[in-house]
């Protein structure tokens, strides 16, 4: 499992048993990743091991408002920059 996959708990890193064409490649934080086709942005984030409520996403160069996420289908070769929100401080 690639380091980024392990870091985010990517349980579908290689998609064993999937038929060719069931998955697609996209770029996430500069690394090529694979996920199932036909998913919305929140579904992709979950599949890649992120908690959607704790991230901000740049989608193909644009900050995508959270209210649009469930309407945004992710396609082959899309580019995501995912930033995890970290709380804390005093």
Averaged pLDDT, groups of 10, the chain, 90 residues long: 42 51 94 96 97 96 96 96 83
Residue-level pLDDT at 11: 42
| Residue 65 located in a structural domain | yes
Could you tell me the two tokens for 65?
């408002």
CA dist., res. 35 & res. 64, Å (int)? 20
Q: How many Cβ atoms are within 10 Å of 34's Cβ, its own excluded?
A: 19
- Domain span holding position 26: 3-84
Tell whether 72 is covered by a domain: yes
Q: What is the CATH number of the domain that holds 31?
A: 3.10.20.30
Structural domain tally of the chain?
Answer: 1
**For residue 52, is it within any domain?**
yes
Please report the pLDDT score of residue 21 as a whole number: 75
* Residue 89 placed within a domain: no
Residue 47 near residue 12, CB atoms below 8 Å: yes
Q: 3-state DSSP call for residue 35?
A: strand
């Amino acid at each position: 499992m690639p380091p980024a996959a392990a870091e985010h708990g990517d349980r579908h890193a290689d998609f064993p048993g999937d038929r060719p064409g069931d998955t697609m490649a996209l770029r996430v934080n500069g690394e090529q990743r694979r996920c199932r086709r036909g998913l919305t942005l929140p579904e992709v984030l979950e599949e890649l091991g992120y908690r959607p409520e704790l991230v901000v996403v740049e989608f193909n160069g644009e900050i995508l408002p959270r209210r649009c996420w469930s309407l945004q289908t992710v396609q082959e070769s899309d580019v995501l920059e995912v930033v995890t929100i970290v709380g804390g401080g005093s």
